[in-house]
Amino acid sequence: MATRKTIATYSYFSSEGNLVFVKLRYEPKDFEYRTPDGRISRVLPRKILYRLPELLTASLEQTVFVTEGEKDADRLCSLGLVATCNPDGGGKGKWSPAYRQHFRGRHVVILADNDWTGAEHAYDVGRQLHRVAASVKVLSLPNVPHKGDVSDYLDTGGTVEALLQLADAGTLWQQRLDVELKPRGRGSREFNAGWIVGRAFRATATAQEKLVLIALECLRRPTQANVGAAVGLSLRRVKSILAALRAKGAIQGVKLGREVVSCSHIGAAHDT
């Protein structure tokens, strides 16, 4: 068995500046948390943002960069920027609603890692912040490898000035949804689709189409049958509405047999 070695430590402080816990990163890749009394646990002690005191004291005019990890947040802060992240990494469901209060009235740029987990995480953060922040943008950095991040961007010639220009030119967040489609039991399908609701679509969509989109977002298991039951429509009618939404571009995907495979891109917003 390989010997585990500590390669990084990240200290998390409360809004008052008190140490809450230290995150320990090991090689081979693993994480644990150490509380001020010395206890070690694999369970996150508290949902709190990294570099929270610096975030809270930053001017509302300063852009806040949300990264997927502490290494990237530290790198940006060392260059004079404001950056933060959540302690439990990227992926769907990792961003706590408790974090929203700290972004009220702020300008936020979410830096997505170049993989599906990064895209899911960026969407989740954007979905939760777009109604409280002054502005939200999701930025996919150019010329980074698969699984690459902002540190890779900077290591390969990217500069703070170029990063700020990309952030300024980025598209403002628009609410969209990605729901996973895969077989769930016999005769059942779930949808994996990206959908975008813009002003033009809101003006032309039927009430039933809007209801179906809401059901896709809210249901834990958004199968065709569950969508129909939620909005009081027959399975045949649900299938017809989904086809109409796909034709309108509200649902983006490629039909392969009876399944739909998402081909959406998190960072690109449209006004359909």
Please confirm whether the linkage preceding 142 is cis (ω < 30° from 0). no
Quick one: CA dihedral 21, 47, 15, 77, positive or negative? positive
CA pair distance 187, 52, nearest whole angstrom: 48
Mean pLDDT estimate for the chain: 81
Nearest to 46 by CA among 102, 82, 88: 88
What is the rounded average pLDDT of the residues 138-149? 89
Band of residue 228 on the pLDDT scale cut at 50, 70, 90: confident
At 65, list the tokens: 């960069």
pLDDT for 87: 96
* Whole-number pLDDT of residue 65: 98
Q: Which residues pair with 137 in a beta bridge?
A: 109, 172
- pLDDT (0 to 100) of residue 203: 66
State mean pLDDT over 215-241.
Answer: 81
Residues 255-268 have pLDDT tens digits of 433 323 233 332 33
| pLDDT for 75 beyond 60 | yes
Does the CA dihedral 175-180-184-187 come out positive or negative? positive
Q: What is the pLDDT of residues 2-45, one digit of tens each?
A: 688 999 999 999 999 999 999 999 999 999 999 999 999 999 99
Q: What is the pLDDT of residue 250?
A: 67
Residue % of the chain over a pLDDT of 70: 77
Contact 272, 197 (CB under 8 A): yes
Q: With beta carbons less than 8 A apart as the criterion, state whether 17 and 3 touch.
A: no
* Confidence grade of residue 111 (pLDDT, cut at 50, 70, 90): very high
Helix (H) or strand (E) holding 251: strand 251-256
Ordered domains of the chain (ranges, CATH) = 1-46 (no CATH), 48-169 (3.40.1360.10), 176-262 (1.10.10)
Entry pTM: 0.67
The answer to whether the CB of 50 falls within 8 A of the CB of 12 is yes
For residues 55 and 239, the model is more confident at 55
Instruction: Dump the DSSP string for 149-170.
Output: -HHHHHHTT--HHHHHHHHHHS
Q: Is residue 178 over pLDDT 60?
A: no
Per-residue confidence at 227, pLDDT binned at 50, 70, 90?
confident
Rounded distance, CA 130 to CA 107, Å? 10
Residue 53 dihedral angles phi and psi, to the nearest 5°: -60, -40
Residue 1 binned pLDDT confidence (cut-offs 50, 70, 90): low
Q: How far is it, in rounded angstroms, from Cα 21 to Cα 35?
A: 4
For residue 269, is pLDDT > 60? no
Indicate if the alpha-carbon torsion angle 112, 117, 121, 127 is positive or negative.
positive
